[in-house]
Structure 1
Amino acid sequence: MIIVEEVQNETQKKKFLEFPAQLYQRDKNYIRPRNQDIEEIFDPEKNKSFEDGECTRFLFKNKQNETVGKVAVFISGLYEQKQPTGGIGFFDCINDQQTADFIFDHCKMWLQQRGMEAMDGPINFGERDKFWGLLTEGFAEPLFGMNYNFPYYKELFENYGFKMYFEQLCFSRPIFADVSRIFTLMHTKHSRNPAISARPMKKNDLPKFAKDFTEIYNQAWAAHGEGKRLEEAKVLKMFKTMKPIINEHISWFVYENEKPIAMWMNLPDVNQWFKYLNGRFGIVEKLKFLWIKQFTKNEKMVGLVFGVVPEWQKKGIDGYMIWEGTQHLRKHTDFKTTELQWIGDFNPKMIKIAESLDTTVTRKLATYRFLFDRDQEFERHPIL
């Protein structure tokens, strides 16, 4: 017998946050997410998905009143698919197929009652940049905002009948690995051009770099696949939010005279610091974080965005920028690896760019789909 509890009070919210830490307590690679990063997703005042969506969290307990699973189930007007599709996320479960099937059945019924015809998971009730996908390969310490799970979760999903809607690829490379000869050749070539210069991002000039970032991004990515145009004011706000963790040696811009033509944006993987805080970030933890950040080496950085304006694409300016930045950060930082956040297998152009940066696939995640009509033909995510 499994008891279902809707998460409503503070005790249940705490259990929702604490259950994964109990489940993974012997897993050396597990890093507990900050409580506030999860709770903000379920706060209608902070998550715009509530404006035209609905989300409920559930706990599942056995007859001994022990928690054996949890999940969030939701619908969002922003999540447009071929058929009405809901989502499930923040799924955790003991290694028991019957328990998992009970949770999935419960989510299916909840979504059917709201007119849905399919459910995707594990996904986020919001943007794709956090808590999206099921880890299937590369069970190493997760990056900040990245899902982590036991290998047996794959069987729980697939045995129930979920099928892979798309695969998410993460690319990585050692900082001190050999750099492609074409990169060094392009660096030599463009270094001879006095109009071309590369500059690292500086905290004391965020408005300028926000403007340059917006200009490059909107030219390079806005019309690419599912890209969206960015507003300079929102970019500046984002940069100001990131300011405490910005490392001035690892994000680079390239200019033709004073015109921004390329960018390579990176941040330290803050999980390398947050892993010591056990999910909390109160006053004590903030002070501890500052101490850890000051005295603990962070050897992993995360690639956020890479872009070149159209008129400079396929001219080697990317190689110039990468080698210029790499030479600098090798001297001035402790970073040993860089990892690009996930790229969908439906985006071959972006995959090709990642591969051109001398990277290799180091982990994979899966976004699964379950069609309620089992006779309906299953289709994977269309190629962009």
Structure 2
Amino acid sequence: MKVEKVVSKEHKKEFTEFSARLFSDDSNYIRPIDKDIESVFDTKRNKFFRFGECERFLFLNDKNKTVGKIAVFINKKYEQDQPTGGIGFFDCINDQETANFIFDFAKDRLQGKGMEAMDGPINFGERDRFWGLLIEGFSEPLFGMNYNPPYYKELFENYGFQIYFNQLCFGRKIHDPVAENFLEMHERISKVKPISAKRMKAKNLEKFAVDFTEVYNKAWANHGEGKQLTNAQTLKLFLTLKPVINDHISWFIYENEKPIAMWMNIPDLNQWFKYLDGKFGLWQKLKFLFVKKFRKNKKMVGLVFGIVPEWQKKGIDGFMIWEGTRHFRKTTDFEDYEMQWIGDFNPKMMKIAENLETEVTRKLATYRYLFDREKEFERHPIL
């Protein structure tokens, strides 16, 4: 088998086109925006190149046809019990021998750089995009979420990969009944005069960025692998999201104007991007605006749900959920709600999802392969 490192313009094009060809008969596949993929490998745009390195490769058969691809990388801030490299953006024909060749190549590459294990498929970047292998729930993927055919699970596990942690997505129908205890919480908290609810509006992003940062840092930054956010970082994120922010679906709760809880949601961008075939040039941007205006998006995605510690377990969650739900039921066309994945090592977050009366909609897995096959395998520690 022939291996070609992705360096040329033609290589980069083939890296995305191969995936599109491989999944051409899969009605659930939504091609990611090519520019989003390329940005991961752009040394100027991806900050992870400051403390890591990344290469990607194409694998060709004896007829010079692409049969697989992969990215291989090292992130020095990805601290594990042993030096652990990453693999991602893996695609392969349904052939174990081909997959084994690709995995062996990645292992040798990482082992030569001092790594003792490899995790995959993961992203050379943050966990909110392109992370994990889909193993259950083969429906249309959310924006930024990996998608693959069912046979990938066998390719990984037959090689010797083991599940390091599962990634669970939870969802529900917007108009399904809300739990009675949430309604009771809402009625009780509504009588507390200092407490008020406000929906986030795009015209006031600066204010809500400050409020989000305050709640996030208190609720999540010190939990597990969280990190402190600055107001500037949050505002940058909000400005990126501004073109798709819906003024009716994200909510903040205040005590005497002090933010104490937030529930951040956005429309699922893939419900619009699936019409663009991975491109986002001038014509596609115009098409996006047309589709956004005339095609109803019926799915919203939960990004973050947080309550400051002093108000947890006091009914604020039920108050916020019913306050938001009864509003966007009347003012939007959304029918489905799905949360971004939660690791099974994080019972606190999973409990919040369960409290929303959701069901598991899909499961992805982060796999690990220890180069020392005699070493005992351990799953991700519970937070």
TM-score, structure 2 as length reference = 0.99
Question: Which position in structure 1 is the counterpart of 2:77?
Answer: 78
* d(CA) in 2 for partners of 1:247, 1:6: 42
The question of 1:150 aligning with 2:149 is answered yes
- Kindly state the Cα deviation for residue 194 of structure 1 after the two structures are TM-superposed: 2.1
- Kindly state the Cα deviation for residue 225 of structure 1 after the two structures are TM-superposed: 1.2
- Kindly state the Cα deviation for residue 223 of structure 1 after the two structures are TM-superposed: 1.4
Question: Which position in structure 1 is the counterpart of 2:291?
Answer: 292
* d(CA) in 2 for partners of 1:41, 1:285: 21
The question of 1:33 aligning with 2:32 is answered yes
Q: Residue by residue, what CA displacement relative to the aligned partner does 1:17-40 show, whole Å, maximum 9, x if unpaired?
A: 100100000100000000010000
Name the SS of the counterpart of 2:341 in structure 1.
strand
Counterpart AA for 2:265: N
* d(CA) in 2 for partners of 1:196, 1:76: 44
Q: Residue by residue, what CA displacement relative to the aligned partner does 1:91-119 show, whole Å, maximum 9, x if unpaired?
A: 00000000000000000110011011100
The question of 1:189 aligning with 2:188 is answered yes
Name the SS of the counterpart of 1:227 in structure 2.
coil
Counterpart AA for 1:5: E
Counterpart AA for 1:48: K
Question: Which position in structure 1 is the counterpart of 2:22?
Answer: 23
- Kindly state the Cα deviation for residue 311 of structure 1 after the two structures are TM-superposed: 1.1
Name the SS of the counterpart of 1:199 in structure 2.
strand
Counterpart AA for 2:321: I
Runs (5+) with no aligned partner, structure 1: none
Q: Residue by residue, what CA displacement relative to the aligned partner does 1:221-269 show, whole Å, maximum 9, x if unpaired?
A: 1111111111011101111111000000000001112111110000000
* d(CA) in 1 for partners of 2:225, 2:32: 28
Q: Residue by residue, what CA displacement relative to the aligned partner does 1:301-349 show, whole Å, maximum 9, x if unpaired?
A: 1100001111111010110010010000000101011111111111111
- Kindly state the Cα deviation for residue 353 of structure 1 after the two structures are TM-superposed: 1.0
Name the SS of the counterpart of 2:119 in structure 1.
strand
Name the SS of the counterpart of 1:95 in structure 2.
coil
The question of 1:301 aligning with 2:294 is answered no
Question: Which position in structure 2 is the counterpart of 1:220?
Answer: 219
* d(CA) in 1 for partners of 2:221, 2:29: 35
Question: Which position in structure 2 is the counterpart of 1:117?
Answer: 116
Q: Residue by residue, what CA displacement relative to the aligned partner does 1:140-181 show, whole Å, maximum 9, x if unpaired?
A: 000000000000000000000000000101000110001000
For residues 44-83 of structure 1, the aligned pairs below 5 Å read 44-83=43-82
* d(CA) in 1 for partners of 2:346, 2:172: 20
Question: Which position in structure 2 is the counterpart of 1:374?
Answer: 373
* d(CA) in 2 for partners of 1:234, 1:179: 34
Q: Residue by residue, what CA displacement relative to the aligned partner does 1:75-96 show, whole Å, maximum 9, x if unpaired?
A: 0112111101000000000000
Counterpart AA for 1:280: K
* d(CA) in 2 for partners of 1:78, 1:40: 19
Counterpart AA for 1:122: P
* d(CA) in 1 for partners of 2:371, 2:193: 61
Question: Which position in structure 2 is the counterpart of 1:346?
Answer: 345
- Kindly state the Cα deviation for residue 356 of structure 1 after the two structures are TM-superposed: 0.8
Name the SS of the counterpart of 1:107 in structure 2.
helix
* d(CA) in 2 for partners of 1:183, 1:66: 56
* d(CA) in 1 for partners of 2:348, 2:375: 30
Counterpart AA for 2:60: K
* d(CA) in 1 for partners of 2:89, 2:37: 9
Question: Which position in structure 1 is the counterpart of 2:323?
Answer: 324
* d(CA) in 1 for partners of 2:61, 2:225: 43
Q: Runs (4+) of structure 1 moved beyond 4 Å?
A: none
Question: Which position in structure 2 is the counterpart of 1:208?
Answer: 207
- Kindly state the Cα deviation for residue 193 of structure 1 after the two structures are TM-superposed: 2.1
Question: Which position in structure 2 is the counterpart of 1:199?
Answer: 198
Question: Which position in structure 2 is the counterpart of 1:267?
Answer: 266
Name the SS of the counterpart of 2:247 in structure 1.
coil
Counterpart AA for 1:139: F
